[in-house]
Structure formats: C-alpha cells, structure tokens
Amino acid sequence: MRLSVLDQSPISEGSTGADALRNTVDLARLADELGYARYWVAEHHGTPMLASASPEVLIAEIAAATSEIVVGSGGVMLPHYSPLKVAETFSILSGLHPGRIDLGIGRAPGTDPQTTVALQRDRRLLGPPDDFPEQLAELLAYLEDDFPTGHPFARLAHLPGSPGRPEVWILGSSSDSALWAADLGLRYAFADFINPAGPAIAQLYRERFRPAQRGEAPEVVVAVSTICAETDGEAEIVAASSRMAFTLLRRGQLIKVPPIETALAFLARNGNPPGPPTGRRYVVGSPAHVRAGLEDVAQEYGADEVMAVTITYDHQARRRSYELLSEAFGLTSMMSRDGEAGEMTGHPVHDPRH
C-alpha cells in the first residue's frame, strides 16, 4: 500500500496565510525525504483556516523544492476555470517536472455559495454552469490532442509544455464522480475525510470501470483524516484543535486552527466525547494504532494508496505525525535509499521511486 499526503495548508491562530504556505513547502520537503509517494495540495477559497487557494502555484513551488515525490492538485475545481487554461498550466508544470505532476480534478466549488459567485467572471449567474462532464471532456481533449477532425479547438491542443503531460485523476465524495472516472477510464481519489461512507462508491467505480488508453485497470486512492503521535492519549490531545475547527465549521463559523488549550476548553464546554465530529472519520493515535486504522480503511475501499490529511495547530506536531507514520509503514527515506545505493555502487546515487 502506497502512502501519500494531501495538504490543505492550515492557518493556525496567531499565524498568517504566508506562514501556512511556507509550512506547506517545508512539509513537502520532509515528505519527499521520508519516502511518501505523492504530495497533493487542495483548493479552498474564502476561509480563514486554509491558505490553499491556488494549487497550481503551490505545485510549482513544491516541485522545485523537492526531487522525487509526485506533486499534484487535490484538486483543481474545474467549474471555476477554462479547460484550456488548466490544460496549459499543467502542461507547463509537466514540461518543467516530467513524470512528477498529477492533475486531480474536482467538481465541488471548494467554498461557500457567496464566494462561489465572487469567483465567477460572469456574475449574472449565481454559480458556474452545471456542465462539468463537458468541461472534463474538453480538458482531456487538450491534454491528449484528441479533438475530432475539423474541431475549432483542435489547433489549441499543441500545449506549451509538450510532450510533458500530467496524470489525470477524478476527485470526489459521491457516486457521480465515481461514474465519471469509471466511464473515462481515469484514476479515482475518494475524500473519506468528507464522506466516510465511500466504500460502496469505490466498489461502484471498480464495477463500472471501462479499460482505456488512460488506464487498463481501476485505481483507487482514499484520503483520510489522520493524526499520529507517540501515544494514543497525546494524539487525541493534538487532534482537539481540528475537532473544534470542524465542529464550528458545521455550524457555519469559520475560524483559524485554534490552540490545543482553547480547543480542549471548547470541547469540554460542549460535552463532546473523544473522536471526530459527527459524520466524519479520524484515524488518530499511536503509530501502531494509526497503521492498523489506515490499513482497515484501505481494505474497506480496496484502495491502492492512502493519502493522510493532517491538520494540527502546531506545525512541528504535523511534521512529527508524518514522521511517525512513515516509520510505522516502513517507508524508505531518501537518506536510506542513497546510502543503500552507495553501498552497492561505491558512490551515492538516487534510487528513483517511480
């Protein structure tokens, strides 16, 4: 089972969005060193808690700051954009970093209705048109140079980063996304941290998958809320910050990630028992506990890969969570890979992961 990272660039109380963005690049470097397979950055707008509003900008910075890890979007919310612009942007990223760029595509707005309107160029509409399948087909035609003969956009498929091209994924938390991914023969990433009732949807994707040039077999990644610490008790304490933030989010209150002491006091006042807010799943605990929990989730989904989504108040606690997770799963660090290769060849070399 491969292990990866989905980062939403959390902004902690007392810090800034710029701090959160620098923390994202720092964490990506660590994930690369520790042996994680990929590092995806999310797209969210109009929230004080998450700084990840422009995944393509972060991808460029992260890919330049790392050497082996695959970097991608988790995801680009296509209804906000022109398919051509997305294709050109990710073509350039793929040209600069061949074989290391993923393009995860989502349909959700990634924000509230008012912000969705603010994101639209044509504000006569209350939201983007409901034409996601058509947008997706156009995007794929650009990336694959596959417009029908005589199509007016065919000449635009000569993208600026060619021959570089990203690996395309469909992101989702509902059956619609599963069916789009299956019908088009695309890889599928399911947001268990949004909807933990996804195993049946992943099964639907596998059953309906149509082998194509894009993929001969279904491939599922599941993204799971995860916090790992030295002990179960310590992990539950660290998790209090995200529990408070998401409890208030469900009430329509947007806040930065609160300090642990503030969060513990809030949870005590509200009589919240340990565990995730209603309707969410967290895998929280010691390394052994978290490994067992993530393996159980992966088995439920029939997933080839798990993406850990970790939000903590303290950036060092987030770094430590991913360090412990890599140790629990026996990931091979870059230092170890270089050392092993050096022992075999007499000089240090990189052992490519992909």
Q: Does domain 2-231+274-345 have CATH number 3.30.710.10?
A: no
Phi first, then psi, for residue 257 (nearest 5°) are: -65, 120
> Quick one: which of 94, 105, 18 has its CA closest to 60?
94
Percent of the chain predicted with pLDDT > 90 = 79
> Residue 250: what pLDDT?
86
User: Would you give the distance in Å from CA 198 to the centre of its chain?
Assistant: 16
> Residue 311: what pLDDT?
97
- Quote the CA–CA distance of 169 and 95 in Å, as a whole number: 18
All structural domains of the chain with their residue ranges: 2-231+274-345
Task: Please compute the mean of the pLDDT values over residues 40-49 and round it to a whole number.
Answer: 95
With a CB cutoff of 8 Å and minimum separation 6, the contacts of 21 are 9, 51, 58
Instruction: Please say if the pLDDT value at position 278 is more than 90.
Output: no
- Quote the CA–CA distance of 83 and 141 in Å, as a whole number: 10
The model's pLDDT over 306-333, given as tens digits with 9 standing for 90+, comes to: 999 999 999 999 999 999 999 999 998 7
Instruction: Please say if the pLDDT value at position 349 is more than 70.
Output: no
Q: Is 171 helix (H, G, I), strand (E, B) or coil?
A: strand
- Quote the CA–CA distance of 252 and 98 in Å, as a whole number: 41
Q: How many helices (H) and strands (E) does the chain have?
A: 12, 9
Stronger pLDDT, 20 or 346, i.e. the higher one: 20
Confidence of residue 346 (pLDDT cuts 50, 70, 90): very low
Instruction: Please say if the pLDDT value at position 49 is more than 50.
Output: yes
Confidence of residue 110 (pLDDT cuts 50, 70, 90): confident
Instruction: Please say if the pLDDT value at position 273 is more than 70.
Output: no
Confidence of residue 128 (pLDDT cuts 50, 70, 90): low
- Residue 13 is classified by DSSP as T
Stronger pLDDT, 19 or 334, i.e. the higher one: 19
Confidence of residue 345 (pLDDT cuts 50, 70, 90): very low
Q: Mark 45-57 as b/e (b = at least 16 C-beta within 10 Å).
A: bbbebbbbbebbe
Q: Are 283 and 225 in contact (CB under 8 A)?
A: yes
CA atoms within 13 A on the CB side of 267: 25
Q: Is 194 helix (H, G, I), strand (E, B) or coil?
A: coil
- For residue 274, with 0-12 CB atoms within 10 Å meaning exposed, 13-18 middle and 19 or more buried, which class applies? middle
Dihedral, CA atoms, 4, 330, 1, 313, nearest 10 degrees? -30
Stronger pLDDT, 343 or 45, i.e. the higher one: 45
Q: Which residues pair with 73 in a beta bridge?
A: 41, 103
Instruction: Please say if the pLDDT value at position 353 is more than 50.
Output: no
Q: Are 350 and 47 in contact (CB under 8 A)?
A: no
Other residues' Cβ atoms within 10 Å of the Cβ of residue 59 = 27
Q: Are 111 and 46 in contact (CB under 8 A)?
A: yes
> Quick one: which of 245, 233, 222 has its CA closest to 311?
245
Instruction: Please say if the pLDDT value at position 228 is more than 90.
Output: yes
> Residue 342: what pLDDT?
47
Q: Is 11 helix (H, G, I), strand (E, B) or coil?
A: coil
- Quote the CA–CA distance of 123 and 121 in Å, as a whole number: 6
Task: Please compute the mean of the pLDDT values over residues 111-134 and round it to a whole number.
Answer: 78
Q: What is the mean pLDDT of the chain?
A: 91
> Quick one: which of 310, 285, 288 has its CA closest to 233?
285
Percent of the chain predicted with pLDDT > 70 = 91
Note the pTM of the prediction, 2 decimals: 0.91
Residues in the chain: 354
- Residue 80 is classified by DSSP as G
